[in-house]
Amino acid sequence: MCSKPLGQGIPHGLQYRWRQFGRRQTCKMALLSACSAPLVLLSGCGAEDLVGPTVPVEGKVTFNGDDVPTGTVIFLPDAKNGNGAQYESRAPIDASGHYALKTQGKDGAPPGAYLVGVSSWKPPPERSDPNFNGFPPPNIPLVPLKYNNPASSGLTAEARENAPAGEYDLKLEGKLGGR
């Protein structure tokens, strides 16, 4: 399209404009127009639009009565109980055990039933251990491993409007597996 010599094949009325902006400038403008048209059409089609309405979901995680100081809370939509949400909701656990869910960067979680998981690990002490062939020892779990997988943890929750304070607190119980 832009490979013709200057002025060749251009109607007489446009030759002045062709010479004024130059062939390279015209090619750049055509390319910019072609590339920006899909962006204009797709603006507003982000993941947040796919999440739909959400409700605030936040709480505190404890294990045997003590705050869990680090980790991640995962809410997995429970399709068997009617939650057809597309995305899982996640939140980091802060030093006081508090979490506040986000779904694809949007605060909260879509209303519905969820399977819940909690993963919390402490890094091992800095030392070399001959049992690990020079590799660092594994991280140390702060909660029983059964809570790591939302599908098998036994924890459930219902995200809903106007939930009372403490509705989403996760009180984990059990023993840590010999570590």
pLDDT number for residue 41: 47
Please report, for the chain, the start and end positions of each structural domain, with discontinuous segments joined by +: 1-43, 49-172
Question: How far lies 164's CA from each of 98, 111, 169, in Å?
Answer: 16, 15, 11
The CATH code for residues 49-172 is 2.60.40
SS3 121: strand
Distance CA 67, CA 98 (A): 9
> Is 135 within 8 Å of 59 (Cβ atoms)?
no
Q: Which residue bears the tokens 């127009």? A: 33
Higher pLDDT, residue 72 or 44: 72
pTM over 0.85: no
pLDDT tens sequence across 91-127: 999 999 999 999 999 999 999 999 999 999 988 776 6
Distance CA 121, CA 66 (A): 15
- Residue from 74, 75, 72, 64 nearest 94 by CA: 72
Question: How far lies 83's CA from each of 78, 140, 153, 158, in Å?
Answer: 5, 33, 18, 10
Q: How confident is the model at residue 167 (pLDDT cuts 50, 70, 90)?
A: very high
Whether residue 33 is predicted with pLDDT greater than 70 in this model: the reply is no
